Amino acid sequence: MADEPEKTSPPGRADPRVLEMLVCPLTKTVLSYDEARQELISRAARLAYPIRDGIPVMMPDEARTLDDDEPRNPGKR
């Protein structure tokens, strides 16, 4: 019996299993995944880390500062 192929994320999308392991590099707190914007949100740091070509960019100088009017909980983890 052949092994089933491992399920992977669509090209350019981050693997949800990897995202669950990541924390904010500044605050070490849990991140929320905003699938629509392809960002990982650190509510504690008020930063949004981009996901480019399926790869989370976890450098604070690459992160976008959240606006005051943005929801604090954009998506699920």
Of 69, 72, 75, 5, nearest in space to 38 by CA: 75
- Residue 76 confidence (pLDDT) above 80: no
User: Could you tell me the pLDDT band of residue 51, with boundaries at 50, 70 and 90?
Assistant: very high
Give CA–CA dist 39/56, Å, rounded: 8
Give, in order, the Cα–Cα distances in Å from 38 to each of 3, 16, 34, 41, 43. 31, 12, 6, 10, 16
User: Could you tell me the pLDDT band of residue 2, with boundaries at 50, 70 and 90?
Assistant: low
What pLDDT is stored for residue 10 in this prediction?
Answer: 61
Of 15, 31, 36, nearest in space to 63 by CA: 31
**Token pair for residue 6?**
């491992």
Q: For the chain, list the domains and their CATH numbers.
A: 16-65 (2.20.25.10)
What pLDDT is stored for residue 44 in this prediction?
Answer: 97
User: Hey, which bits of 28-73 come out as E strands?
Assistant: 32-34, 39-42, 47-52, 55-56, 64-65
The per-residue pLDDT for range 4-47, each reduced to its tens digit, is 555 555 666 788 888 889 999 999 999 999 999 999 999 999 99
